[in-house]
Amino acid sequence: MTDTVALGQPTVGAEELRAIEAVFASGWLSGAGPTCNAFEERFAAVAGTQHALATSNCGAALHLGLTVLGAGAGDEVIVGDYTFPATGHSVMWTGAQPVFADIRPDIWSIDPAVVESLITPRTVGILAVDVFGQPADYAELRAIADRHGLWLMEDAACSSGASYQGRPAGSLADVATFSFHGRKGITAGEGGALTTDDAALAERARKLHTYGILPAITREGSTDLPLPSFDEAGYNYRLSDVAAAIMLAQLDRLPQLLANRRASAQHYAERLAEIERVTAPVALDDREHPWQSYVVTLDEDVDRGAVATYLKAHGVQCNFGTYASHQQPVYGGRQQLSVSADLFRRHLAIPMHANLTVDETDRVVDTLADALASL
């Protein structure tokens, strides 16, 4: 079989090319320019916040967010365990220690009941992850954070267009961060954003993301010769205006991209209900799931590796879900989290993107059923 159903696929075309052409014509291609400013304004509206800062990637946004919230050496940050390790890495970049919390067995985000048990005098904040885009339990997490005097941060890497109890992802914590990597719902290939309602946090993050000074555009049009002064060491975490132009076009597409993904998710759920030994993911009624990925849970007796081999041999791409972060050697192996570890072993990501057709989703499910029947 020569045709393959892709695991993920961006939706880009003439609109993005026209946006790039306009940036080329403007002469301002570098980071934090006028196109970045335009994107930030529109993305803040999508996220429901007063401020948005475009960054080179989500890792940069995570590091900036943790830094401006005050995480540092000697601190502990409670982190949802089931996530790409960039989440835990970003805590380590500040000098703080990630303390991983086990997850809900149904939606795979941080379990608020576990969070409470992990708080120590060294705990300064909670970093929740919207796993595959579905927001975590922010009402419960906010109550815990307020009760213990902690800050709350949202890793919304996969969550563009999601919502929780009527509020958009990005507005659910003190700071939130997004990814625009090629596998995400909207993408410039790479890129990220930080959102917040706190003007002081936003201002410091903007300064730190340009080596410790405000971006050059703030001096554009000056009639004298401003000489910026560096009073702290920042980073080069800017998004280029070329990438920002792509993101503006992607924001125009966002409603349709979300509708397409949700239609595919609904069709998957209907078809997967016909198959034994596999469980479809849960989407809770009080939140809108953007379906950045579609991850099924195989029964304990299923050989996931054999299923994956069969799918790939028959032209259906697949992957594991994400990481049980606490198991990664970089974190020292000090914790044992049973729910996350179990799901890490049994999850299988099947194709999900906005370009999927009904025929392709049917083919994926039929091939998965054949794989399970062959074991």
Which residues are known to be catalytic? 184
d(CA 59, CA 235): 12
Pair 292, 184: CB distance under 8 Å = yes
Give Cα separations from 137 to 21, 111, 145 (angstroms).
42, 8, 12
| The pair of three-digit structure tokens given for residue 33, joined into one six-digit string | 């320019």
Give Cα separations from 46 to 57, 193, 198, 327 (angstroms).
18, 12, 17, 35
Residue whose structure tokens are 């993920």 = 8
Classify 191 in phi/psi space as left (phi over 0), alpha (psi -120 to 50) or beta. Answer: left
DSSP state of 27: T
Give Cα separations from 11 to 27, 143, 242 (angstroms).
26, 39, 17
DSSP state of 273: T
Phi, psi of 167, deg, nearest 5 = -110, 140
What lies within 8 Å, CB to CB, of 139 at 6+ separation is 165
Beta carbons within 10 angstroms of residue 313's beta carbon? 11
Give Cα separations from 37 to 116, 239, 359 (angstroms).
39, 10, 41
